Amino acid sequence: MTSEQLEAARAERMRHNGHGTLTFEDARTWIEETGLCLFLPRRQFSSSVAPSFVEAVAGKRDETPDPRQIAVAEELLVRMELADVAVRLNLQGQPGEQPDFVVASWVLPYVYALRGDRDWRRIPQLTGSRAVSPLAVQAYKLLDQGDATIAQLKQGLGREVSEAGVVRAITELWQQLRIVPVIAAPGQPAKWQLLKHRFQKAIAEGASTSQVTAISVLASIYLQAVIAASIAASSALSRSAGGSQSIACGSACSRALAACCHAATRHGQYRPSVAPSRSTASASTGAEVVTPWPSR
């Protein structure tokens, strides 16, 4: 494949070819085939190939999409969330309701395996590697009683708590995959909901999935989604896939996930037009890279 053919194939896969995902069914098909993508294109990822939801909806590559394009993408995302097709994530911990990543519901277990708490039934802790602030723990306990907006949480946490403090607490919980925003319609304030209340099966599956398996799946499908972005990326991801199930391994993949926007294929349902084998060996390490779809 020549460089021109590669760029053309990527443009088609990422919808940078003038054919945007302008309908709900188009958007649903694209996110389910892509698995995981950026919401907005990010300049810090300019050296890596990564699909973004806003660009796919617009049908073109644009590092600075205009507000209208973002609004159209947001409307489609809200509809997909209400249909439990997609989930908005905040892996980098930026305050606000706008996600940095969008994940298809079927790939959520793999992301949770890397970023979530294995003991998902317990409340967030004040100490340890996943420590959160006391205010975040209080917010979590309130949300365990029912969904709430920022304003409702502020009222429940006490008048001495500022709205900015509530937003910081919510951001801590969202980044750790403890909660997700639920938006009834574009422009309406989000109601925050415990992830375990909405996606209990997915997070239970993720908690029992090894980091090595999750990394292998996401790495394999990321490379397919961007049509083998580069030999260097392939080697780096293969090395991660072949590592141990240590905290360092999980952290490395978490950074790669946030930096490269790994994608995955629909587990047991979606099959690409050319089905790869169930496992392949890394040319650089010999480590097996597991793919989650069955052979034809």
**Does a structural domain hold residue 87?**
no
Among the candidates 166, 186, 205, a domain finishes at 205
- Residue 69 forms part of a structural domain: no
Mark whether 232 and 285 lie in a shared domain.
yes
225 and 243 share a domain? yes
- Residues 256, 190 share a domain: no
Residues 217 and 193 grouped into a single domain? no
Q: Classify residue 145: in a domain, yes or no.
A: yes
Give a yes or no: residue 197 inside a domain: yes
Whether residue 246 sits in one domain with residue 168: no
**249 and 226 in one domain?**
yes
In a domain? residue 267: yes
The confidence score (pLDDT) of residue 213 equals: 92
User: Domain end: 186, 205, 224, which one?
Assistant: 205
Confidence at residue 256, expressed as pLDDT on a 0 to 100 scale: 40
Q: What is the pLDDT of residue 47?
A: 57
**Domain final residue, candidates 188, 205, 222:** 205
How far, in Å, CA of 230 to CA of 281, rounded?
17
Q: Give the model's pLDDT for residue 72.
A: 94
Q: Flag whether 163 is in a domain.
A: yes
Range of 168's domain? 117-176+178-205
User: Quick one: 166 and 240 in the same domain?
Assistant: no
Identify whether residues 259 and 229 lie together within a single domain: yes
Residue 141 lies in a domain: yes
Residues 195 and 228 in one domain: no
Q: Domain for residue 81, yes or no?
A: no
What confidence score (pLDDT) does residue 227 get?
67
Residues 121 and 201 in one domain: yes
| pLDDT for res 58 | 92
- Do residue 137 and residue 195 come from a single domain? yes
User: Same domain for 215 and 151?
Assistant: no
| Total count of domains within the chain | 2
The domain that holds 163 is classified in CATH as: 1.10.10.10
Per-residue pLDDT of the chain (296 residues; tens, 9 = 90+): 788 887 888 888 888 888 887 899 999 999 998 988 999 987 655 556 788 999 999 999 888 999 999 999 999 999 999 999 999 999 988 888 889 999 999 999 999 999 999 999 999 999 988 899 999 999 999 999 999 999 999 999 998 999 999 999 999 999 999 999 999 998 899 999 999 999 999 999 999 999 999 998 888 777 776 764 443 444 444 444 444 433 333 333 344 444 433 333 333 333 333 333 333 333 333 333 333 333 33
